[in-house]
């Protein structure tokens, strides 16, 4: 199931990016909601363009983090951790790997130099993609479940 979530997440991200490249390449913008539209952009960095100047070194750092996260997921599987926790981390990994596919396959200036395809534009805030949604929502939900699980398993406070 974990592999299915990972592969489905990456495939969904890449399919939507392919659609964006085909349908938004002419500069066309489609309003979805008053604060959200579809508009094509290419991001050489991370959120808000952070790390864009670092080039491939930035992508290598992200690659190391993704490999560590993937290893942690495999470790958690072997340890028998809760499936919810593992699947939420897998959603995060799917987002990261979806963007890494862009960095690898869109590289014109050497390995890992590719830009990430973004298309969800918010008025005056950010432009992002489905992989980013997976990473942010997956991590947020994982953090909530982690805090709740630890709160429920924590020993009662001592009253001295």
Query: Dmax over Cα atoms in the chain, in whole Å?
Result: 69
**Among 23, 22, 17, residue whose Cα is nearest residue 43:** 17
Tokens (6 digits) for 26 = 């002419």
Cα distances from 90 to residues 2, 130, 156, in angstroms, run 7, 14, 32
Query: Hey, which residues are catalytic here?
Result: 118, 132
SS3 37: strand
């Amino acid at each position: 199931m974990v592999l299915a979530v990972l592969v489905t997440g990456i495939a969904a991200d890449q399919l939507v990016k392919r659609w964006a490249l085909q349908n938004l390449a002419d500069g066309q913008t489609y309003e979805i909601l008053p604060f959200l539209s579809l508009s094509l952009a290419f991001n050489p960095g991370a959120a808000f363009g952070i790390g864009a100047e670092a080039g491939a070194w930035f992508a290598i750092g992200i690659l190391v983090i993704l490999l560590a996260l993937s290893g942690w997921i495999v470790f958690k599987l072997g340890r028998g951790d809760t499936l919810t926790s593992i699947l939420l981390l897998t959603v995060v990994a799917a987002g990261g790997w979806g963007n890494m596919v862009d960095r690898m396959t869109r590289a014109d200036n050497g390995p890992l130099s590719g830009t990430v395809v973004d298309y969800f534009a918010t008025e005056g805030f950010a432009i992002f993609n489905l992989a980013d949604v997976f990473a942010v929502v997956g991590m947020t939900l994982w953090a909530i479940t982690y805090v709740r699980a630890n709160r429920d398993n924590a020993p009662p406070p001592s009253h001295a």
